Structure 1
Amino acid sequence: MDKLADKWAGRIYGTNTGNVFLEITQKDASIEGRLRIMDSVFGVSLYSCVGTVADIIEMTCEPEQDIEGVVQGTVTVQGRLDEEGRLHGSWESAIGTGGTFEMYPHNIEKVDKTKNPEQIHNKTVPIGSVRLFKSDLLQLVNYISKDFTAGRVIVTYHFRGVELTKYADDFFSQLDDIEHLQYIKLVIQEPEAYGINRVVVIELGVHGFSEIRVSGINESWVLGKAESIFQFLKPKQNALVTTYRKHGLNINSILFAVLLISLPEISDWKSRGIFVICAFTLLGILMHIHAKYIPNTSIYLTESKPSFVKRIWPSLLSWFIAASSSLAAAYVFYLLKGG
């Protein structure tokens, strides 16, 4: 027989949706308690519950008070504990409503600590150059919220020289003055089991590296969640800029290598030295321009459906810089060759 925690939090799904909070006391195989439901449509309701604990946990819950304009009925609940200590199952009411639920122990300090996890698993996935618009960011927040029953996404961003932190709902409701962000971090976490939180962090910055970080005690969940988020963001990456930042010298390296191979065509060593210096100077300028004028991450919050030009301009600029530097090197080669 399982010894249940006395506080549980989670969500219900089905004909009714919302947050739930259950407080119970247990004596042997019998339990009783109080259930609070914050229905997304009908608001708060209270139920008194009695039940039994065995392979299947069963409860019968009766409404404690009448709610004007709302029909309530007796609710029967059946659920099981999984290996991670979460309680999930189904519910059904006497008035015909029903659905599923998932709850986790909220008083983590009282969870059985004799069962310790073998280890905490962490996965970090680097992200390339990303362009996100308002609709993209909304989809990303909703996507990483999957698998979390009570955790809320927290947004940290830089705006007017100040670092601000808000819940995602508040962030999206207060976008009037925000048009463009160069840094944002999304964090969501909730207790998993053994007093340990599972966490998802997505950090995107204009300079340096952006990455996904996922932690938890379930290795398959950690690896799967990290990979699924990466695949979600992959279509929003700029392949050319990502490749340039990852490898430093992409197509331009090849072009300069071809030019250097042509060095024997330059007659004297002095001219060859000048050409090599010019080539690598151009390459350094090219890398500096990429770092300064082609940001690794840009987030635009003024429109949900971006124009084609806004989507493609980093690639066009990168190709233009590459072509210009290659032409400049070719022209220097032409002059030094005596053309």
Structure 2
Amino acid sequence: MKRTLLGAVAALALSSSLAVADYPEREVLGVVMWGAGGATDTVARAVNPAAEEALGKPIVVLNKSGGAGAISTAFVNAAPADGYTFLYGAENPQLHPVMGVSSLDYSSFYPVNILGRGVAVIAVPSDSKYKTMADLLADIKANPGAVKMGSTGPGGLPSTISALIANAADFEVTAIPFGGEGPGLTAMLGGEVDFMPSGISAAAEQIKAGKMRALAVVNPSSVDTLPNVPPITDAIPGMDKFLPWGPFYGVFVRKDAPDDVKAVLESAFKKAAESEQFTTLMANRGNVMMNISGSEAEAFLKKWQQVTVWALQDTGAAKVDPASLGIKRP
């Protein structure tokens, strides 16, 4: 009887070990929350090859934009918690509850890896009449609501930066939403909007090619990627209290996925984030490498959310009081 029980326990342990060793048994789906060509898509597709190699199975990349990232977040949350569907996400879900977009934020997910954070720019077409950030601000102040800003919807990077600026300067603009930074910047070049806040990673190539001009970097100092572009604090000193701030990019899986599956994904993406191809791309795009996971990543997510949602609340941009959601003022 005792030998039988011990044998059963050993068999169970062996089968559990084999199940973990077998993950992933097939291809994995990586869902990008924004459209092709945007900053999140660029980061996802850059890290994907090294992650595939580390996992030993293909990772199929699916762009699923809409709702400022809410559609893709809900899609991954509704998928089985088996690790075969994960999210290539940006910062947007951390704002969804206060923007009334969705009740889902990253507290419902496990941060496999926060790959890095970006620095944003205020971009205009190269032939724009705005030569400096001061020019843009002066026109906005003189013509409230007349200047058109490219956006990605409530809670997206442009709308958040707009709220931060509005907390420190006159900034009444008309936001025109698009399905991601890539489509928005393309529309800006076509004359549909006058300017657009964007991550450097989405705009850098167009800026270097001379098709766009960056009026300012949303940072307390200039950055190596665009050394001649002044920090936004030169034109808006009051922005200093919000900085450094910027978008971030990460890999998220359902929180209730098996711990061993999370560990496999963590290991794969940690290795992928250290690959030369990925680190070079991140540096060239002006992004700051992070490569953190677990409790360290959760602490980062919590602090980022606190700072940002209360900035939105203070400018009147939040639809739901952060305090009612249990988010404490930082």
Assess same fold via TM > 0.5.
no
TM-score tier by shorter-chain length is under 0.3
Whose RCO is larger (CA < 8 A, sep 6+)? 2
TM-score, scaled to structure 2: 0.27
Higher strand share: 1
TM-score, scaled to structure 1: 0.26
